[in-house]
Amino acid sequence: MKEQFDSNEEMYFFWWLLELKEKGFIKEIELQPTAFPLSSSISCEYEQQMKTKSKIVSEEIMKGHVYTTDVFVIWNKNAIDKFTTLIDSGIRKKERSSLQFIISQEKGGVIYSFIEVKPSFDQNNMTRLAVINQKWVWEKFKTYVNIVIPEKHFNKTFTPGRYFFTNKSKVPRTIKYKSVLTLSEFLKSKNILEGFEEKDDNALNQLF
């Protein structure tokens, strides 16, 4: 499975999403969804002299910029105010503010989220670039991109079962964050009923 992901963190967060899908809170999970074109390329034309004639040559002086998030999620309605919150749904109730929501949007009755996954320790400072992309995607497409650090998100919600064991040797993993709950324990602690799975094929293509 590791070959499907660019990083371990993406794989860990996929485990989190997969458990929610199995419990009926998520309809669809898509990795590396449709890209957002943020800028076009720039080319410059010049005259190149040949042996007997000249010709006009085009040279690219700046490449276009295309941004692809890590995950696209379509939620079931029963996930609202439990694991996701609609960006335009108003002020949250105080008693629900302790939950770590993933921001979602709604279009044509489909509740969806775009998510970028980043590590706890970002040695290459890629989170800074993701924040810039996040701002431009919102400015151009009015689409919100969540930036999620898996361990912080697990600490505020639940830890997927597969994460309790190391990737290769499958021995118990040392978990350093404080709140370590399984999905069942988290649902029980928040008095949340399990969901049900709905099918909606090609939902991403219907949206964009």
pLDDT given at position 123: 66
The confidence score (pLDDT) of residue 11 equals 96
- What token pair was written down for 89? 């749904």
Which pLDDT score is estimated for 121? 79
Q: Which residues on adjacent β-strands are paired with residue 60? A: 43
Q: Please report the pLDDT score of residue 21 as a whole number.
A: 97
Q: Compute the distance between CA of residue 152 and CA of residue 146 in angstroms, rounded to an integer.
A: 13
| Joined tokens for residue 66 | 């295309």
**pLDDT higher than threshold 60 for residue 96:** no
CB atoms within 10 A of CB 182: 14
Helix segments in 23-174, DSSP class H = 126-141, 150-156
Residue 34 structure tokens: 């449709």
Nearest of 24, 59, 23 to residue 199 by alpha carbon: 24
Q: Could you tell me the fold of the domain covering 2-37+64-207?
A: Trna Endonuclease; Chain: A, domain 1 (3.40.1350)
Are the CB atoms for 159 and 15 separated by under 8 Å? no
- For residue 88 the two structure tokens come to 């335009």
Cβ neighbours for 20, distance < 8 A, ≥ 6 positions apart:
26, 79, 83, 183
Q: What is the pLDDT of residue 100?
A: 59
pLDDT, mean of residues 140-158: 95
- Confidence band of 92 (pLDDT split at 50, 70, 90): low
Residue 104 phi/psi, 5-degree rounding, is -130, 165
> Which pLDDT score is estimated for 89?
61
Please check the confidence at residue 55 and state whether its pLDDT lies above 90.
no
Element (H, E) at 56: strand 54-62
pLDDT tens-digit readout, 102-139:
999 999 999 999 999 999 877 667 788 899 999 999 99
Domain ranges within the chain, ordered by starting residue = 2-37+64-207
Tell me how far CA of residue 100 lies from CA of 20, 38, 83, 200, in angstroms.
14, 29, 7, 26
State residue 98's pLDDT score. Answer: 45
